[in-house]
Chain A
Amino acid sequence: DTGVSQDPRHKITKRGQNVTFRCDPISEHNRLYWYRQTLGQGPEFLTYFQNEAQLEKSRLLSDRFSAERPKGSFSTLEIQRTEQGDSAMYLCASSSASPFYEQFFGPGTRLTVL
């Protein structure tokens, strides 16, 4: 297992378009997290899954955002009707269930909304 992977690494889109990002976690990890990181800031929590169940969503996750993890393996994050304020790095991380265990981060998907 080579770690957490994310696809695509970069996405440029026009305002109003829909985009979807994919995250493949480390295979034995049952928790998967999504974060958003804007320039000069630390990552901000968006949502997380334990297996296929979405256990928590941040208020940052507006109605235009939806995340799924249908089979408890990979996850997708979709943003509908993108806005320029959505431009950011979207990070995915995975871990075992215990809070002590390290979250392993993927390389991120950098979204630019024109």
Chain B
Amino acid sequence: AQTVTQSQPEMSVQEAETVTLSCTYDTSESNYYLFWYKQPPSRQMILVIRQEAYKQQNATENRFSVNFQKAAKSFSLKISDSQLGDTAMYFCALRSEKLVFGKGMKLTVNP
């Protein structure tokens, strides 16, 4: 079975600061993909960043980057220069065919 664990239910950060969201996963698949999705309040889920498991290089998308540690099965998300619009639920997800999501983490960016 595939599992995704997000152990921090909630975090808050000041605008312009850097924050790291943690995620661990478990899978027996050799070929899989990891994603971070963002779900703003009352809005639909959107993709933040993705990582192919066979790539050692960590993915980066503007202010968002990941720290992918395959041996440790860890996939953390770093948000630099936090903005008020980053306030949302963040879900880590693992995919071989279907997406398996963690429980999510509520991030609040304070002015």
Contact = CB atoms under 8 A, between A and B. Distances in A.
Interface stretch (A12-20, A22-30, A68-76, A97-105): A97-105
Interface residues of A, number: 21
B44 A99 contact: no
B45 A91 contact: yes
Given A33-B99, A100-B33, A106 B44 contact: yes
B102 A56 contact: no
Nearest to A103: B99
Of the four ranges (under 10, 10 to 19, 20 to 34, 35 or more), the interface on chain B belongs to 20 to 34
Interface stretch (B12-20, B46-54, B67-75, B79-87): B46-54
Contacts of A33: 98-99
Interface of B: 4, 6, 31-33, 35, 37, 43-47, 50, 52, 91, 93, 95-104
Given A42-B93, A93-B99, A99-B95, 5 more contacts: A41-B103, A42-B4, A43-B101, A99-B33, A105-B44
Interface of A: 33, 35, 40-45, 48, 55-56, 91, 93, 99-100, 102-103, 105-108
10 contacts: A33-B99, A42-B6, A42-B103, A43-B101, A93-B45, A99-B96, A100-B33, A100-B50, A100-B52, A105-B37
